[in-house]
C-alpha cells in the first residue's frame, strides 16, 4: 500500500426532553446584555454565549477547522453556542452588527462557503453534540455538532440502532443530514433523510427577528414544508438547525430499539487492489464495465444484495493502484460468498489477479475507524454525479486516459454503490430528488502545496468535463445520469465556462424539487440571511 493510500485509508490526522414547537423571540435581556470581555473574546452573562474575536487565542482554532485548506476565513466574530437560545442570541447580534452569517458544524464543506471573505460572523455548533432518546416525540434527538461517529456510538451502545449515514466518523451531523446523507447502509435502509422525523431551526422573519421553530413530517404540521426542505435541500439555505429527531417512517410503539434500523453485529470486508503496473487499458475498461453491470443487475429495491456496499477508488497512476473496498452485514447467511461472488464478477475476464485482504470485525469498530481523513493532503477540489446506467465505452476510455496518465496529480474517481432501498422512495417525498441511480460518483484531486493549486484544479475540471462531454460537461438528469449531490458542492456548475449544457446548477442538484425549495426559502428566510454561492435563491 503506497503512502497516499495508507494515509487516506488508515488515517493520519472523507439535554434530555422535547422542545416545544413555539416561535421564541430573542429575549430582551439577552439581546441588550453587554458581553463580559476577555482577551479578544467575550461571554454574554445571561445566556453563556461565547464570542471570540480576532485577537483571542482561540480564534485560530475556531477558524482553522475547515476540511479544505484552499480556503481560510477571517470573520470578525465566532460565536460558540451550546443551546438553541444561544443560537437565537448569536443570530440577533450578528444581524444587528450588519454581519453576514455562516454556520459550521463538522467543518467538512468542500467549497469555501463558511470560509468566504464576505462572512463576518461564524456560528460554531461543535459544542452542541448531545445524542439522546426523546420519549415525547418517540424519536432520537441528535444535535448538529455531534459527529457521525458520536451518533453511531451512542445509538448503537444504548439502543442497538443506527442511521444509514456516512463512512467518515469525523463529519458533523449538522451538514451531512441536510444534504440527504448516505453511507454503507443506504442500499439496505435508504438515505439518512428518509429517517428524519423533525428539525428545530432558528429562522429569521421579514422583520429581522430570530426565533426557534420545530417542524415535523406529520401531515397536519403547519411547518411541514420546512421539515421537507431539510431532507436534502442542503445546508446554509433556510436557517440554523439546532436539533434533529430521527424515527423510521412506519415504526410503531415506544421501544426505542424498534424505531430506527438495527445496526449489524459485524461487518465482513474485502479490500481488493489492482496494481496500476498490471492494468492495460483493456483490463481497466473490463473492470469498469463489470462493476457497472453488476450494479445495473443488483440495484432494485428488493435485491438480495441490498446489504452489500462498495466504494471503488479509481486512484490515478501516481497512487500506484486502484482499490475496491467492499463490505456486507456479517449476520447474513452466506455473507462471505456474496462478497466473493461480487469481487469475481468485477474481475471477470480481466486477466489480472488482484490482491485481496479479507476481514471480519464488530460493526461499531469498523464504523468508528478513522479511515478517510485527508491527512497532510489538505487542499482539494471535488465534483460529483449520479449514474442511472453504467459508464459508456467512451467514458471508460476517458477515465483511463486521465487516471492512467504518467502524472503527479493525486486524483481519484470514487464509485459508491447506490440504489436499492434508496430508490424505493418517490423523488418528491423528500428534497433528495435522485431516486433512480445505481452508482454515486465523487471525483477529487488532493494535494499539499499551494503552488500546485492551478494544476490540480485544472485536472479535476477537465476530467469531469470530458467524462460528461456529451451532456455539456455535467451530469444532466436524463437517461444515463441524474445530476449530482449537494453535499459535493461545486461552484463550477454555476459557471458557463464549465457547464455548457444550458441546464442550471440547481436542476443538477435538486431536479424538479427546486421551485418547492424556493417557496420554502421565501416563507422562512425572506431576507436571504442564510446564503452562499450555491444556496437556494428567493423566487422571482
Considering 488, 509, 510, 514, which one is annotated as catalytic?
A: 488
Closest by Cα among 173, 178, 107, 114 to 533? 114
Closest by Cα among 49, 45, 54 to 80? 49
Give, in order, the Cα–Cα distances in Å from 474 to each of 157, 463, 520: 43, 11, 27
Q: Is 2 exposed, middle or buried (0-12, 13-18, 19+ CB in 10 A)?
A: middle
φ, ψ of residue 210 to 5 degrees: the values are -85, 140
d(C-alpha 185, C-alpha 171), whole Å: 17
Q: Indicate the DSSP class of residue 201.
A: E
φ, ψ of residue 204 to 5 degrees: the values are -125, 125
Contact call for residues 123 and 101 (beta carbons, < 8 A): yes
- Scored b (16 or more CB within 10 A) or e, 164-193 reads bbbbbbbbbbbbbbbbbbbbbbbbbbbbbb
| Residue 386: Cβ within 10 Å count | 25
d(C-alpha 182, C-alpha 191), whole Å: 5
Closest by Cα among 144, 117, 122 to 65? 122
Strand partners, 53: 77
Q: Give me 179's grid cell.
A: 444534504
Active site residue 488: yes
Considering 416, 418, 510, 514, which one is annotated as catalytic?
A: 416
Strand partners, 36: 43
Q: Angle between the 281-297 and 335-347 helix axes, to the nearest 10 degrees?
A: 140
Contact call for residues 473 and 465 (beta carbons, < 8 A): yes
Strand partners, 397: none
- CA 497 and chain centroid, separation: 26
Angle (CA) 72 78 80, round 5°: 125
Instruction: Return all residues near 34 (Cβ < 8 A) that are at least 6 apart.
Output: none
Active site residue 464: no
Give, in order, the Cα–Cα distances in Å from 189 to each of 39, 138, 262, 423, 514: 49, 19, 10, 10, 25
φ, ψ of residue 395 to 5 degrees: the values are -70, -40
d(C-alpha 147, C-alpha 173), whole Å: 5
φ, ψ of residue 272 to 5 degrees: the values are -115, 125
Contact call for residues 117 and 73 (beta carbons, < 8 A): yes
Q: Give me 37's grid cell.
A: 470581555
d(C-alpha 304, C-alpha 230), whole Å: 31
Report, as residue numbers or ranges, the catalytic residues. 416, 488
Amino acid at each position: 500500500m503506497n503512502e497516499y493510500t495508507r494515509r487516506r485509508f488508515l488515517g493520519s490526522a472523507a439535554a434530555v426532553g422535547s422542545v416545544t414547537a413555539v416561535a421564541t423571540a430573542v429575549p430582551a435581556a439577552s439581546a441588550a446584555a453587554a458581553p463580559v470581555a476577555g482577551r479578544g473574546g467575550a461571554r454574554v452573562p445571561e445566556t453563556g454565549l461565547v464570542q471570540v474575536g480576532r485577537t483571542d487565542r482561540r480564534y485560530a482554532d475556531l477558524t482553522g477547522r475547515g476540511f479544505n485548506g484552499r480556503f481560510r476565513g477571517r470573520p470578525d466574530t465566532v460565536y460558540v453556542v451550546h443551546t438553541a437560545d444561544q443560537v437565537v442570541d448569536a443570530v440577533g447580534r450578528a444581524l444587528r452588527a450588519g454581519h453576514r452569517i455562516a454556520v459550521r458544524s463538522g467543518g467538512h464543506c468542500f467549497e469555501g462557503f463558511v470560509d468566504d471573505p464576505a462572512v463576518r460572523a461564524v456560528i460554531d455548533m461543535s459544542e452542541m453534540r448531545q445524542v439522546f432518546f426523546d420519549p415525547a416525540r418517540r424519536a432520537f434527538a441528535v444535535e448538529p455538532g455531534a459527529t457521525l461517529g458520536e451518533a453511531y456510538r451512542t445509538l448503537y451502545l444504548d439502543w442497538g440502532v443506527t442511521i444509514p449515514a456516512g463512512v467518515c466518523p469525523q463529519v458533523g451531523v449538522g451538514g451531512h443530514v441536510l444534504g440527504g446523507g448516505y453511507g454503507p447502509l443506504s442500499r439496505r435502509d435508504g438515505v439518512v433523510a428518509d429517517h428524519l422525523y423533525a428539525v428545530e431551526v432558528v429562522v429569521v422573519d421579514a422583520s429581522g427577528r430570530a426565533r426557534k421553530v420545530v417542524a415535523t413530517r406529520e401531515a397536519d404540521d403547519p411547518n411541514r414544508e420546512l421539515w421537507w426542505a431539510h431532507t436534502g435541500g442542503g445546508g446554509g439555505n433556510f436557517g440554523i438547525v439546532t436539533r434533529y429527531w430521527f424515527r423510521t417512517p412506519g415504526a410503531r410503539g415506544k421501544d426505542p430499539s424498534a424505531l430506527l434500523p438495527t445496526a449489524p453485529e459485524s461487518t465482513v470486508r474485502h479490500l481488493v487492489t489492482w496494481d496500476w503496473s498490471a492494468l492495460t487499458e483493456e483490463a481497466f475498461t473490463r473492470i469498469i464495465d463489470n462493476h457497472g453491470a453488476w450494479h445495473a443487475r443488483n440495484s432494485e429495491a428488493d435485491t438480495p444484495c441490498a446489504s452489500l456496499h462498495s466504494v471503488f477508488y479509481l486512484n490515478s497512476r501516481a497512487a500506484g493502484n486502484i482499490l475496491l473496498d467492499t463490505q456486507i452485514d456479517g449476520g447474513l447467511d452466506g455473507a462471505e460468498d456474496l462478497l466473493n461472488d461480487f469481487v469475481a464478477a468485477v474481475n471477470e475476464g480481466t486477466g489480472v489477479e488482484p490482491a485481496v485482504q479479507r476481514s471480519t470485525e464488530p460493526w461499531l469498530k469498523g464504523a468508528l475507524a478513522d479511515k478517510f481523513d485527508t491527512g497532510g493532503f489538505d487542499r482539494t477540489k471535488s465534483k460529483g454525479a449520479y449514474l442511472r446506467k453504467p459508464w459508456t465505452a467512451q467514458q471508460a476510455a476517458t477515465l483511463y486516459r486521465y487516471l492512467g496518465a504518467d502524472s503527479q496529480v493525486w486524483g481519484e474517481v470514487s464509485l459508491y454503490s447506490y440504489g436499492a432501498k434508496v430508490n424505493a422512495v418517490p423523488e418528491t417525498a423528500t428534497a433528495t430528488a435522485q431516486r433512480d441511480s445505481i452508482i454515486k460518483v465523487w471525483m477529487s484531486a488532493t494535494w499539499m502545496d499551494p503552488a500546485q493549486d492551478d494544476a490540480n484544479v485544472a485536472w479535476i475540471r477537465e476530467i469531469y468535463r470530458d467524462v460528461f462531454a456529451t451532456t455539456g460537461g455535467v451530469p444532466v438528469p436524463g437517461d444515463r445520469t441524474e445530476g449530482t449531490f449537494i453535499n459535493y458542492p461545486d461552484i463550477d456548475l454555476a459557471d458557463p465556462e464549465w457547464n455548457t449544457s444550458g441546464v442550471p446548477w440547481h436542476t443538477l442538484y435538486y431536479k424538479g424539487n427546486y421551485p418547492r425549495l424556493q417557496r420554502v426559502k421565501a416563507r422562512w428566510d425572506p431576507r436571504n440571511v442564510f446564503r452562499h454561492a450555491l444556496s437556494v435563491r428567493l423566487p422571482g
